[in-house]
């Protein structure tokens, strides 16, 4: 039973809102069994449900992790964040903290975290073509809980995350969201704009990247490495 529940949590975390049939197909159990698990998880406050209108017939029930469910599934992401915060804090120079308020120091710490995450995954983002880089970045940062997928739109790429990797931290400070955006920008070597956040009430966190701006790739990256190299070496 616990294994099935863990699988349900994983699927809802990775895929976002899903129907009973979608979850059942992914796990390989009956829809009835999945529905029973979901009913129990709703009662425990781990899962929520909403009805979506369909072109025909009855509305479709879609299930998604509640805030408590997200927090429970995000334990690994919190550990990663904590493992990165301490080194970033210890590297701060005296000038970076002297006479600065807590907010300014915290901003410097999260900027350091973003730099560290980008360096950790830089070797996996090697293409000079933006279309390929956005896919490589999304694939790499999926492990970090920062991105889920990429949608190719007419004039831009929309990068999405279906679950907040550390909601409590993001609710406490916008700098956590800023750090994720900075990480994506460092790896892409192109400007990234965040347009939606889960903590602000959106079902997803979303970022947009304009297409075909070759001038972006001629600029040195904030890590001091040319983006054409740091597409894999920032």
pLDDT tens, residue by residue, 16-35: 889 999 999 999 999 999 99
Domains 2-73 and 75-230 share a fold: no
State the CB neighbour count (10 A cutoff) for residue 44: 12
Q: What is the pLDDT of residue 36?
A: 92
**Helices (H), ranges, 28-91:** 31-43, 67-73, 75-90
- Pull the structure tokens for residue 214: 């070759």
- Say which DSSP state 51 is in: E
* Contact predicate 136/126, CB 8 Å: yes
Q: What is the pLDDT of residue 213?
A: 54
**Domain ranges (residues) in the chain:** 2-73, 75-230
- Say which DSSP state 217 is in: G
How many angstroms separate the first and last alpha carbons of the chain? 44
Candidate from 5-19, 107-121, 205-219 with smallest mean pLDDT: 205-219
> pTM higher than 0.95 for the full model?
no
* Contact predicate 15/21, CB 8 Å: no
Q: Which class does domain 2-73 fall in? A: mainly alpha
pLDDT tens, residue by residue, 65-114: 887 887 777 777 788 888 899 899 889 888 878 888 888 899 999 999 99
Q: What is the pLDDT of residue 177?
A: 93
Say whether pLDDT at 220 is over 70. no
What's the CATH fold of domain 75-230?
A: Muramoyl-pentapeptide Carboxypeptidase; domain 2 (3.30.1380)
pLDDT tens, residue by residue, 158-209: 999 988 888 888 888 899 999 999 999 999 999 999 999 988 888 889 999 9
Q: What is the pLDDT of residue 226?
A: 38
The average confidence (pLDDT) of the chain is: 85
């Amino acid at each position: 039973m616990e294994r099935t529940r863990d699988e349900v949590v994983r699927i809802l975390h990775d895929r976002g809102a899903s129907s009973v049939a979608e979850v059942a197909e992914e796990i390989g159990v009956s829809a009835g069994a999945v529905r029973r698990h979901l009913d129990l998880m709703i009662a425990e406050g781990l899962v929520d449900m909403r009805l979506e209108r369909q072109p025909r017939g009855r509305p479709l029930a879609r299930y998604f992790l509640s805030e408590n469910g997200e927090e429970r599934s995000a334990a690994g992401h919190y550990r990663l964040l904590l493992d990165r915060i301490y080194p970033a804090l210890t590297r701060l120079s005296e000038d970076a903290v002297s006479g600065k308020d807590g907010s300014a120091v915290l901003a410097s710490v999260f900027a350091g975290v973003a730099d560290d995450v980008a360096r950790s995954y830089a070797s996996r983002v090697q293409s000079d073509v933006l279309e390929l880089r956005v896919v490589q970045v999304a694939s790499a940062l999926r492990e970090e809980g920062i991105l889920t997928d990429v949608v190719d739109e007419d004039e831009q790429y929309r990068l999405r995350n279906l679950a907040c990797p550390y909601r409590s931290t993001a609710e406490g400070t916008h700098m956590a969201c800023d750090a994720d955006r900075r990480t994506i920008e460092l790896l892409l070597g192109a400007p990234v704009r965040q347009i939606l956040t889960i903590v602000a009430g959106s079902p997803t966190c979303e970022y947009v990247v304009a297409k075909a701006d070759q001038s972006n790739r001629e600029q040195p990256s904030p890590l001091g490495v040319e983006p054409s190299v740091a597409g894999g070496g920032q």
